[in-house]
């Protein structure tokens, strides 16, 4: 550990500038750069530019195949760390703790943390906040529901959080957009962040807009490309690109920013802010959704049958075992094996599931037109030359009637055993 233990509260108290208003302000930049009280070494501007270049050129690592897994980013966080200065980029495996004691400013990262889990988008929001903060010598404050038990400062630190502002743990489970927005608003009033970064997820985007409405500022929503100098998003029905210098409030579209590899930041906890909020949305509850009741257009995982399926009992069992939404080709819907609204294709539904598992479907053009937006296709067919086999990401030449029971067995083993 290169960091001394310190008292964050005392330090913050020392930085508070009286503003004469209800808002607290933290004195940061000027005094910081003039007198490096924390003993931080002066930074090499070129190294900083290099950092920025790596981070702001997201187009360097392109993934055309859509298959490669995102490699952990070898960011240059270490380069600004005193411990490694002059030694170049260190192995990612053991990042060195980076402490930003007297940040020039603060950047908020407001995370969803839905159901207590950190989503990929949450991580990307952290990366975006990190990028903006580093360009300004600022610190990243993660705002997220607290908990769970086994999640501690190291975990926040590994995501690049210099500070953590915990919100009530219950908000991870409850639907509390109004309270979340009020909390963010209160924190903004108290700490005057230069940027507040939200995830452009459904609930995160909701909170972002609520905050924007309350503070009366514009939200730059759904950022698709981000650098320290410029953010850009789609507008005009997808026809135009709007870009400007990073504004105060912005939300990040999914997969626009690469998540950072393991970092080590201090993740110093900040005092929770008190929130007064009388929520008007009530009685929120998840509605139970039967996979077969999900509209095909919305379904995420589709198990689909064609004329090559004869064992309909096994097909139904398999659907249940996988928790997948069942669908079929026109032939099987015509034959009454599945209802008409379960037909995939040109004259049925156009689907955009992430996974499409197809048993005994030939892959007629009218059928393929329905699965153009599908992420990943697995096809089981006895005919090596079926068009569906060509379309598939995983193609298996086998009898559907034999594979379905085997897969059911395997599912049962894995879930019960």
Partner 1 sequence: MVDVAVLLSVGRHPVSGRARRAPTDARALELALSLPPGRRTALHAGSPDSPALRDYLGMGLAELTVLAMAEGRDPTDALLARLRALSPAPSILLTGNRAEGGEDSGMLPYSLAHALGWAIVPDVVALTLNDDGSAELVQALARGQRRALRVAMPFVVTIHPAAPAPRPSAFGPARRGRITVEAVDAPEDTALAACAVRPWRDRPKRLTVGAPGGGSGGALDRLRAATEAKAGQGRLLVGPTPDEAARAIYDCLQEQGMLPR
Partner 2 sequence: MIAAALSTVTLTVLLVGLGLALVQARRWRAGRSAKVGVWAGLAALPARYLVDVHEVVGRTPFNARFHALTAGGFLASLALSVALALPPLRHPLLWGLLALTLAVMLAGGMMVGYRRRVLRPAELSGGRFSRLPLALTGFSAAFLLVALDQSAGGILPVWLVLTLVAVGGWGLAELVFGVWNGPLKHAVHGALHLAFHPRPARFHDGAGRDTGLRPLDLAQADAPLGAGQAVDFAWNRLLGFDACVQCGRCESACPAYAAGLPLNPKKLVQDLVLSLDDGSDDRAYAGHGHPGRPVGAAVTGPTRPLVGADALIHPDTLWACTTCRACVQECPMMIEHVDAVVDLRRFQTLERGATPVKAAGVLEELRATDTPSGRALDRRLDWAVDLRLPVLAAGETCDTLLWLGDGAFDLRNQRSLRALVLLLRRAGVEFAVLGAAELDCGDVARRLGDEATFQDLARRNIQTLEARRFRRIVTADPHAFHCLRNEYPALGGRWTVQHHSAVLLELLTSGALTVTRPLDGPVAYHDPCYLGRYNGEIDAPRAVLDAIGAQRREMERSGLRSRCCGGGGGAPLTDVVGERRIPDMRMDDARATGAPTLAVGCPTCTLMLEGVVEPRPQVAELAELVLTATEPTP
Ligand X SMILES: Cc1cc2nc3c(=O)[nH]c(=O)nc-3n(C[C@H](O)[C@H](O)[C@H](O)COP(=O)(O)OP(=O)(O)OC[C@H]3O[C@@H](n4cnc5c(N)ncnc54)[C@H](O)[C@@H]3O)c2cc1C
HSE-up of residue 296 (Cα within 13 Å, Cβ side):
24
82: nearest Cα among 70, 97, 94, 69: 97
Q: End-to-end distance of the chain based on CA atoms, in angstroms?
A: 43
Q: Which of 301, 316, 303 is nearest to 405 (CA)?
A: 316
Residue 341 near partner 2 by CB under 8 A:
no
Quote the CA–CA distance of 261 and 123 in Å, as a whole number: 10
Q: From ligand X, partner 1, partner 2, none, which one binds at residue 386 (CB under 5 to 8 Å depending on kind)?
A: ligand X
DSSP 341-368: GGBBSTTSB----SEEEEES----HHHH
Which does residue 334 bind out of partner 1, partner 2, ligand X, none, counting CB within 5 to 8 angstroms by kind?
Answer: partner 2
What are the backbone dihedrals phi and psi of residue 150, each rounded to the nearest 5 degrees, phi first?
Answer: -85, 15
Binding-site partner at residue 155 among partner 1, ligand X, partner 2, none, CB < 5 to 8 Å by type: none
Q: Determine, following the binding rule CB under 8 A, whether residue 417 of this chain makes contact with partner 2.
A: no
Nearer to partner 1, 94 or 290 (CB): 290
Q: Can residue 118 be called a binding residue for partner 1 (CB under 8 A)?
A: no
Answer for which of 29, 192, 225, 366 binds partner 2 (CB under 8 A) is 366
Q: Is 340 in the site for partner 2 (CB under 8 A)?
A: yes
Radius of gyration over every alpha carbon of the chain, rounded to an integer in angstroms: 26
Cβ proximity to ligand X: between 217 and 399 the closer is 399
Residues of this chain that interact with ligand X (CB under 6 A) are 306-308, 329-332, 343-348, 360-362, 364, 366-367, 370, 380-383, 386, 399-401
CB of 331 to partner 2, least distance (A): 6
Q: Does 57 bind partner 1 (CB under 8 A)?
A: no
Q: How far is the CB of 315 from ligand X (least distance, A)?
A: 11
Do the Cβ atoms of 322 and 415 come closer than 8 Å? no
Tell me if 56 sits within 8 A of 245, measured CB to CB. no
298 touches partner 2 (CB under 8 A): no
Cβ nearer to ligand X, comparing 236 with 365: 365
d(CA 48, CA 71): 23
With CB under 8 A as the contact rule, the residue among 3, 14, 70, 117 that binds partner 1 is 70
Number of residues that bind partner 2 (CB under 8 A): 9
Query: What is the size of the binding site for partner 1 (CB under 8 A)?
Result: 104
Instruction: State CA 300 to chain mean position distance.
Output: 17
| N residues, the chain | 417
Q: Looking at 4, 5, 67, 385, which residue binds partner 1 (CB under 8 A)? A: 67
The tokens for 28 are 């940061």
Q: Can you tell me which residue has the tokens 């990028």?
A: 131
CA distance 179 to 196: 17
CB nearer partner 1, residue 83 or residue 235: 235
Q: Sign (positive/negative) of CA torsion 174, 177, 179, 185?
A: positive
| Residue 381 touches which of partner 1, partner 2, ligand X, none (Cβ within 5-8 Å per kind) | ligand X
Residues 340-362 as b or e (16 or more Cβ within 10 Å = b): eebbbbeebbebbbebbbbbbbb
Closest to partner 2 by CB, 157 vs 308, is: 308
Q: Which of residues 330-349 bind partner 1 (CB under 8 A)?
A: none
383 near partner 1, rule: CB under 8 A = no
Q: Are 404 and 398 in contact (CB under 8 A)?
A: no
**Which of residues 36, 88, 297, 339 is near partner 1 by CB under 8 A?**
297
Residue 103 binds: one of ligand X, partner 2, partner 1, none (C-beta under 5 to 8 A by kind): none
Within residues 372-411, the interface with partner 2 by CB under 8 A covers none
Q: Is the CB of 160 or the CB of 308 nearer to partner 2?
A: 308
Could you say which of 183, 331, 400, 407 contacts partner 2 (CB under 8 A)? 331
Contact 108, 196 (CB under 8 A): yes
Hey, which residues between 343 and 362 contact partner 2 (CB under 8 A)?
Answer: 347
Residue 239 touches which of ligand X, partner 1, partner 2, none (Cβ within 5-8 Å per kind): partner 1
- The Cα–Cα gap between 152 and 161 comes to 12
Site for partner 1, residues 302 to 331, rule: CB under 8 A: 322-325
Rounded to whole angstroms, how far apart are CA atoms 115 and 203?
12
Chain residues binding partner 2 by CB under 8 A are 307, 330-331, 334, 340, 347, 364-366
């Amino acid at each position: 550990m290169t960091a001394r233990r310190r008292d964050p509260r005392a330090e913050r108290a020392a930085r508070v500038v009286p503003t004469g208003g209800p808002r607290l302000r933290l004195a940061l930049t000027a005094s910081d750069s003039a007198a490096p009280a924390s003993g931080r070494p002066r930074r090499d501007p070129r190294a900083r530019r290099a950092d920025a270049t790596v981070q702001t050129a997201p187009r360097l690592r392109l993934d055309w195949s859509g298959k490669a897994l995102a490699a952990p980013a070898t960011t240059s966080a270490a380069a600004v760390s005193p411990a490694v200065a002059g030694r170049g980029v260190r192995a990612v495996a053991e990042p060195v703790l980076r402490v930003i004691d007297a940040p020039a400013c603060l950047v908020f990262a407001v995370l969803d943390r839905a159901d207590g889990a950190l989503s990929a988008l949450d991580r990307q929001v952290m990366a975006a906040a990190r990028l903006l903060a580093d360009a300004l010598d600022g610190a990243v404050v993660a705002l997220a529901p607290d908990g769970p038990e086994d999640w501690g400062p190291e975990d926040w630190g590994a995501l690049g959080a210099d500070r953590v502002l915990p919100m009530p743990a219950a908000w991870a489970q409850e639907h509390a957009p109004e309270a979340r927005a009020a909390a963010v608003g209160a924190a903004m009033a108290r700490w005057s962040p230069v940027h507040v970064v939200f995830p452009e997820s459904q609930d995160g985007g909701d909170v972002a807009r609520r905050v924007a409405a309350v503070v009366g500022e514009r939200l730059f929503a759904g950022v698709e490309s981000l650098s320290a100098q410029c953010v850009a998003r789609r507008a005009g029905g997808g026809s135009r690109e709007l870009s400007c210098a990073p504004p105060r409030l912005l939300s990040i579209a999914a997969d626009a920013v690469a998540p950072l590899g393991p970092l080590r930041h201090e993740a110093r906890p900040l005092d929770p802010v008190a929130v007064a909020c009388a929520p008007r949305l009530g009685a929120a509850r998840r509605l139970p959704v039967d996979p077969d009741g999900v509209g095909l257009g919305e379904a995420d995982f589709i198990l689909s049958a064609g004329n090559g399926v004869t064992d309909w009992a096994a097909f139904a069992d398999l659907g249940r075992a996988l928790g997948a939404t069942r669908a079929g080709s026109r032939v099987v819907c015509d034959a009454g094996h599945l209802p008409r609204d379960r037909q995939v294709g040109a004259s049925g539904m156009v689907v955009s599931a992430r996974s499409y598992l197809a048993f005994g479907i030939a892959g007629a053009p009218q059928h393929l037109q329905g699965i153009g937006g599908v992420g990943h296709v697995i096809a089981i067919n006895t005919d090596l030359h079926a068009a569906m086999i060509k379309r598939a990401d995983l193609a298996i030449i086998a009898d559907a009637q034999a594979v379905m029971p085997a897969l059911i067995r395997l599912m049962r083993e894995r879930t019960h055993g």
